[in-house]
Amino acid sequence: MSLQVYAHRGYSAVAPENTMAAFQRAVDAGAHGIELDLHLTKDDEVVVIHDETVGRTTDGKGRVRELTLDELRQLDAGSWFGEEFKGEKIPLLSEVLTLVAEKGLLVNIELKNNKIAYANLESKVITMLQEYDLVHRTVISSFDHYSLRKVKELCPDVDTAILYMANLFEPWEYARKVGVTSIHPYRPTVVESMVAKCREYNLPVRPFTINQVKEMRRLIGLGVDALITDKVEQAFTELNRGE
């Protein structure tokens, strides 16, 4: 399989992150897949937002877990990025999966449960993936590796990926022990020997977040399986250079 481009929080270089506008622009730019982040609301709805709080990416305040869906949907998630995006809402996961299914996208779902222990987040996500027939087009990632074990128990067929920041000793062995099927390392930890070893173990390597041209070229040269990037069109420019 040729290298894939995942739009990090949607095409977040040109639209407000984790909004339907950003996901649609990823589609328009030809991204193979989108990456998104999940939290649970006060009334246990699965919503797409990166932070535990709403202040950075909306005109509101407070923790996602302490606000109902109705309260969250009243917030403007676009104006902070640009006036043309005024009125963008925090999406439900179901809304994004509808787009993914319609457009034939891949999707990388990050469970943001490493700071807040969301009960049943894993089962809610798996149920939705099954309803939309997207299990085989999804990779579920998390910094909470216990959560990934739970995901695999619920749905052995779904691709799962450990997220990590610091250098991990023999990540291919660690991945096998955890039971995941891919790795999503922080970009500086990716070196030639690691990529080669992961290939021996049949572990796709999808580093994050790749926005600098020099780093795109380095990682493409190492033969990683995907780039997770804010800059979708730049990534394709670099991919096309190598052809």
pLDDT tens-digit map of 170-212? 999 999 999 999 999 999 999 999 999 999 999 999 999 999 9
Q: CB within 8 A of 20, min separation 6: which ones?
A: 88, 89, 91, 95, 96, 99
Write the CATH number of the domain with boundaries 5-11+16-241.
3.20.20.190
Whole-number Cα distances in Å, 82 to 23, 24, 211, 227: 16, 16, 21, 26
Mean pLDDT of 164-168: 96
Q: Please state, as a whole number, how many other Cβ atoms lie within 10 Å of the Cβ of residue 240.
A: 8
> ∠ CA 123-115-64 to the nearest 5 degrees?
75
Say if residues 80 and 16 touch (Cβ distance below 8 Å): yes
Say if residues 15 and 83 touch (Cβ distance below 8 Å): no
Say if residues 210 and 229 touch (Cβ distance below 8 Å): yes
Give the per-residue pLDDT at 243. 67
User: Comparing C-alpha atoms, which of 20, 8, 16 is closest to residue 98?
Assistant: 20
Whole-number Cα distances in Å, 84 to 56, 61, 87, 88, 222: 18, 22, 9, 9, 39
- Distance, in Å, from the CA atom of 9 to the CA atom of 13, rounded to the nearest integer, reads 9
Query: Look-up: residue for tokens 């809610």?
Result: 124
Q: What confidence category does residue 133 fall into, taking pLDDT thresholds of 50, 70 and 90?
A: very high
The two tokens of residue 93 are 């996961």
Share of the chain above pLDDT 70, in %: 99
In the predicted structure, residue 132 carries a pLDDT above the cut 60: yes
Q: Where are the domains of the chain?
A: 5-11+16-241
- Distance, in Å, from the CA atom of 84 to the CA atom of 236, rounded to the nearest integer, reads 26
Global confidence as pTM? 0.98
User: Comparing C-alpha atoms, which of 170, 42, 138 is closest to residue 148?
Assistant: 138
- Distance, in Å, from the CA atom of 174 to the CA atom of 36, rounded to the nearest integer, reads 24
In the predicted structure, residue 222 carries a pLDDT above the cut 60: yes
Mean pLDDT of 137-163: 99
What phi and psi values does residue 119 have, to the nearest 5 degrees?
-65, 130
Average model confidence (pLDDT) across the chain: 98
Give the per-residue pLDDT at 18. 99
Q: pLDDT tens, 49-106?
A: 999 999 999 999 999 999 999 999 999 999 999 999 999 999 999 999 999 999 999 9
In the predicted structure, residue 1 carries a pLDDT above the cut 60: no
Type of residue numbered 105: L
Give the per-residue pLDDT at 238. 97
Residue 5 exposed, middle or buried by CB count within 10 Å (0-12, 13-18, 19+)? buried
Mean pLDDT of 33-38: 99
Catalytic residue annotation = 8, 50
The two tokens of residue 44 are 């246990």
